[in-house]
Amino acid sequence: NMIYGRNCEGKVIKIADIIDEIGEVVIEGEILNLETREIRASKTIIFCDITDYTDTITFKIFVENEEVGNILADLKKGGYYKVKGSAIYDKYDKEISLASIKGIKLIKEFKTKRMDNAPEKRVELHMHTKMSDMDSVVDIKGIIKRAKEWGMSAIAITDHGCLQAFPIANHAIEKDDPFKIIYGVEAYFVDDNLGDELAEEAHSEQEERIKKLKSYHGIILVKNEVGRINLNKLVSAAHLKYYSRRPKMPKSLISKYREGLIIGSACEAGEIFSAILEEKDDSDIEKLIEFYDYLEIQPILNNEFLVRSEKYKASSLEDLRNYNRKIIELGEKYNKRVVATCDVHFIDPEDEIYRCILMDYKGFKDADLQPPLYFRTTNEMLEEFSYLGEEKAYEVVVENTNQIADEIEKISPVLPDKCPPIIADSDKELRKICYDKAHEIYGPDLPEQVTARLERELNSIINNGYAVMYIIAQKLVWDSNDHGYLVGSRGSVGSSFAATMAGITEVNPLAAHYICPECFYTEFQSNAAGISGCDMPDKACPKCGSALNKEGHDIPFETFLGFYGDKEPDIDLNFSGEYQSKAHKYVEVLFGEGKAFRAGTIGTVADKTALMYVFKYLEKREMTKRKAEMRRIAAGCTGVKRTTGQHPGGIIVVPHDRDIYEFCAIQHPANDVKTPIITTHYEYHSIDHNLLKLDILGHDDPTIIRRLEDLTGISSSTIKLDDKEVMKLFHGTEVLGITPDDISGIKLGSLGVPEFGTDFVIQMLIDAKPQNFSDLVRISGLSHGTDVWLGNAQTLIEDGKGTISTVICTRDDIMTYLISMDLEAGMAFSIMESVRKGKGLKPDWEKAMIEKKVPDWYIWSCKKIKYMFPKAHAAAYVMMAWRIAWYKVFYPLEYYTAFFSIRASSFNYELMCFGKEKLENNMKGIMGISKEKQTAKDQDLLKDMRIVQEMYARGFEFKEIDIFEASDVDFKIIDGKIMPSLGTIDGMGDKAAALVVEAAKDGPFLSKDDFKKRTKVTQTVIDKMSEFGMLGDIPESNQLSLIDIM
């Protein structure tokens, strides 16, 4: 079992005992983290964190690159190993780690596992997962796996006020698995049955009163499909109508939607336990108990805090046992079943540290006094409740929990069916729109290439039921166009010729070809594979002599619709940020109110955040741990829900004949009761296979194009994609009339051009030397990929093995190239799909590639790639970028005005608008700070300063801000100069700037006091404005002194 080295002999010691440089040691443990780092052309370091659960330590091995694959075949995260090495002080990590590894040996798992050995298993009916806000650390799939390993028949999920664990749990078991997941919630019940006074109030007043009432915990379990929908309704109402620090649920509403639900009394925070603590009369308790289907008791140490607290009368653990006895007595008296639950918040006892850390972060002073809220076996629970007597303990632990579980049907929380919206005759409409456009471009007699591609796509789209998706996208894009805004396409939609003909995307995916706009002569170029039509030479029509249009980007449709045309299309669109909200409202117009919801998201604790929690926890307690141990503890805190949100452009559409509650609950993002936005309660990926998700994203490019069209009067649609002057931007700065020395050594003119203005891409342009539009598309593909350029295509170009036109740049390149090398088309498609996802090559694929004489460097390149960009997306981005670049070359004043208005997020009037010399002094101040020490604000300022420097170098200037002429957010061209917006004054802000604009409409300001009163601007900003001379010579106050008069 040796997987590295030759020797693992020696006495095994605990990792916790390695506290100094003690020389050679042997340890055993589980690998928690593993990563590799190539350090030289032939060497790689493998880093591993290994734990024996007394502590965790890092070990490193240095291996030849060719050995890495063999070692990693056996050295895996989650595996158990014996390791022999030297405990030394690592100067890089500044702590003790293992180095000079002599051997690594695979061993059996040694961690003791608790097992449930009872002949009859209990069922846990009260369990919280990581979806309970910052409260539970239970991994959803992990606890389901544990319950199944223990032989239990079911487990309930009852998170605090939410249902967001349901889809994950549903995916944790196979459809035909007999194990049952019981879906439920621990809700916040409010007793709103307070008599006639509340009933007589107006509905809105009732809601406000209910929000203020005290809430109690209560368990709701879903019994069947009716109950599932009713629970969605209840949780939605709790979040949308009755949210006040938590989603409160009126008992009257629960009664209304009670069908299909089972109601339990919950924990010590429930009504029944609280009534016992408060020593209420039996008659009062009787009224409360009537509402519940079963009562609940829990291990006494769950409630030990009642003994510690002075607020409660409990003085001993025996008092806590008596509370449980009282609940059993009530159950017997009122014929209510009593069940014993754990109120699970972590799986194993040792996991309590993770919850300690969460509670500490939340500010609980008793965070370390963690109750034992772990998942107990049947025997552990029987032992816990042995004070009830053997028979009663068995009844509450085993019999009653199983009875309730047996009454519950096995359901799916997410509908398995696809439920797209319906637009009548969408298939016919799509076909008509596409052919009308095709005839408009290609004439009455369509070329065979056009008809074949269009028919192939339309048949796939219509036969698979996707026509409605195209029609929805078409209507949204056309509406945006009607309002004067272009729409950019994302993803692979530009691979679809039907999408082009429907007006959804501007990218024409056919092979490069000529079209005569007069007589419709069409000529496809057989020798133009892989290039964009705009790069073909200009040509006159051989029939009528007119100049031919040049079209096509040569993109296979398989990347969008799948090899067999049955892949569900994902149509992502970039709308102008100014139009995005209107597009969202237009979806409601199309489908009706209550049928369109923002796609919900869930924000969880990330790795770095969890590590920060651990660090703070240890720091408060003056404790130190190795970094590897901190990472181990932090891993137990990751994935816990912190908040909810919304996808930036995702809209979920419900069919007109269906109800959202059939699919999920709804809520406000982050439970912000002030926002009108309503999102899906589930994270949108959980239901996007059921309901149509539209990606209506906001983007700056369509906005800046609109602004440039308004400023110049020139439509962007008239801009040709082969303008040689524009191409010069990507070769140098001469076309701008400046030199690199004028702009701090920047060698190209592409600053401020979308996709091509960053240092990284500018260097790519220098290295790759693009010659045409097609090359820019390739560079866009390279820049958006992972491990596609650095250490891959860049190396191949430097070594002379490839050029920008032959290396792999986009995912489509792989399929088209392999087919050209005579590989079977299906295999070429499969290779493309695998490589683009970073899964590499299967041995039989590599063998086939070698047999077809695919170069070694090409195979090597495929193996390096982790993620690849689609060519259609790259082409769409470059088309937008090219147009903006055209305005930069030919209409510079308008370009800079539009750029500063829309893209310059950190523009600062004081730092940038007082001449080139002052600007460059300010730039030197930031550039003098090392990049590691520059703040995000510094870096954003520098980005905008570089564009301003270029503007000055080209001979343009700013005009001083006039508060009666300036806009709040937009820059203006006045007298051949650019007047910045009021919002560029440091400290002003957009809202304050808008108030200044409105106030200025009401006439001159009498004094600075008058200005402050009318605009609500701060004194600090007023002082700045006075310093810049923006307020003229108006006095400080409206009151005139004798000296003023004299």
Give the pLDDT score at 167. Answer: 95
Shared-domain flag, residues 465 and 384:
no
CATH of the domain at 101: 2.40.50.140
Smallest CA-to-CA distance from 533 within 510, 550, 554 is with: 550
Give every CB contact of residue 1038 below 8 A, 6+ residues apart in sequence: 1006, 1007, 1009, 1010
Amino acid (1-letter code) at residue 655: P
Alpha carbon dihedral 719, 723, 729, 735, in 10-degree steps, equals -110
Pairing state between β 180-190 and 248-250: parallel
Shared-domain flag, residues 242 and 184:
yes
Say if 877 falls within a structural domain: no
Crossing angle of helices 448-463 and 426-442, in 10° steps, is 170
Give the pLDDT score at 310. Answer: 85
Identify the helix (H) or strand (E) that includes residue 819.
helix 811-820
Which strands, in side-by-side order, build the sheet including 679-680? Answer: 488-489, 572-576, 692-699, 641-653, 596-604, 679-680, 666-667
* Contact of 549 with 516, CB cutoff 8 Å: yes
Provide the token pair at 980. 């910045």
* Contact of 632 with 590, CB cutoff 8 Å: no
Give the pLDDT score at 567. Answer: 77
List residues bridging with 882 in a β-sheet: none
Shared-domain flag, residues 365 and 433:
no
Shared-domain flag, residues 154 and 254:
yes
Say if 455 falls within a structural domain: yes
Shared-domain flag, residues 248 and 378:
yes
CATH of the domain at 979: 1.10.150.870
Shared-domain flag, residues 381 and 431:
no
End-to-end alpha carbon distance in the chain: 101
Shared-domain flag, residues 376 and 238:
yes
Smallest CA-to-CA distance from 688 within 873, 415, 411 is with: 415
Give the pLDDT score at 1046. Answer: 46
CATH of the domain at 155: 3.20.20.140
Shared-domain flag, residues 9 and 72:
yes
Say if 689 falls within a structural domain: no
Tokens 């780092």 belong to residue? 37
Provide the token pair at 165. 């664990």
Give the pLDDT score at 196. Answer: 47
* Contact of 845 with 827, CB cutoff 8 Å: yes
Number of helical H runs and strand E runs in the chain: 41, 25
Shared-domain flag, residues 167 and 88:
no
Distance in angstroms (rounded) separating the CA atoms of residues 1010 and 6: 85
Strands (DSSP E) found in 654-801: 666-667, 679-680, 692-699
Indicate if the alpha-carbon torsion angle 272, 276, 277, 280 is positive or negative: positive
Number of domains in the chain: 4
- C-alpha distance from residue 446 to each of 29, 502, 550 (Å): 69, 16, 17
Low-confidence ranges of the chain (pLDDT < 50): 195-200, 1041-1043, 1045-1046
Shared-domain flag, residues 391 and 470:
no
Say if 435 falls within a structural domain: yes
Give the pLDDT score at 673. Answer: 92
User: Mapping DSSP to helix (H, G, I), strand (E, B) and coil, where does residue 227 land?
Assistant: helix
189-231 pLDDT tens trace: 999 875 444 444 556 777 888 888 999 999 999 999 999 999 9
User: Mapping DSSP to helix (H, G, I), strand (E, B) and coil, where does residue 332 land?
Assistant: helix
Decide which of 106, 132, 153 is a domain's last residue.
106
Decide which of 551, 569, 587 is a domain's last residue.
569
Provide the token pair at 197. 């006074």
* Contact of 47 with 36, CB cutoff 8 Å: yes
- C-alpha distance from residue 115 to each of 12, 108, 172, 379, 960 (Å): 27, 18, 20, 10, 77
81-135 pLDDT tens trace: 999 999 999 998 899 999 999 999 999 998 888 999 999 999 999 999 999 999 9
Say if 486 falls within a structural domain: yes
Say if 544 falls within a structural domain: yes
Say if 287 falls within a structural domain: no
List residues bridging with 339 in a β-sheet: 296
Give the pLDDT score at 41. Answer: 67
User: Mapping DSSP to helix (H, G, I), strand (E, B) and coil, where does residue 729 land?
Assistant: helix
User: Mapping DSSP to helix (H, G, I), strand (E, B) and coil, where does residue 223 land?
Assistant: coil
List residues bridging with 28 in a β-sheet: 82
Provide the token pair at 399. 């019999």
Give the pLDDT score at 1. Answer: 82
Shared-domain flag, residues 476 and 542:
yes
Decide which of 569, 599, 618 is a domain's last residue.
569
Give the pLDDT score at 1039. Answer: 65
Distance in angstroms (rounded) separating the CA atoms of residues 460 and 467: 9
Domain containing 172 equals 140-267+345-407
Give every CB contact of residue 208 below 8 A, 6+ residues apart in sequence: none
Residue 173 burial (10 A CB sphere; 0-12, 13-18, 19+): middle
Give every CB contact of residue 105 below 8 A, 6+ residues apart in sequence: 1, 2, 3, 8, 81, 82, 83
Per DSSP, 1040 falls in state P
List residues bridging with 172 in a β-sheet: none
Amino acid (1-letter code) at residue 955: G
Distance in angstroms (rounded) separating the CA atoms of residues 787 and 268: 54
Say if 482 falls within a structural domain: yes
Shared-domain flag, residues 220 and 84:
no
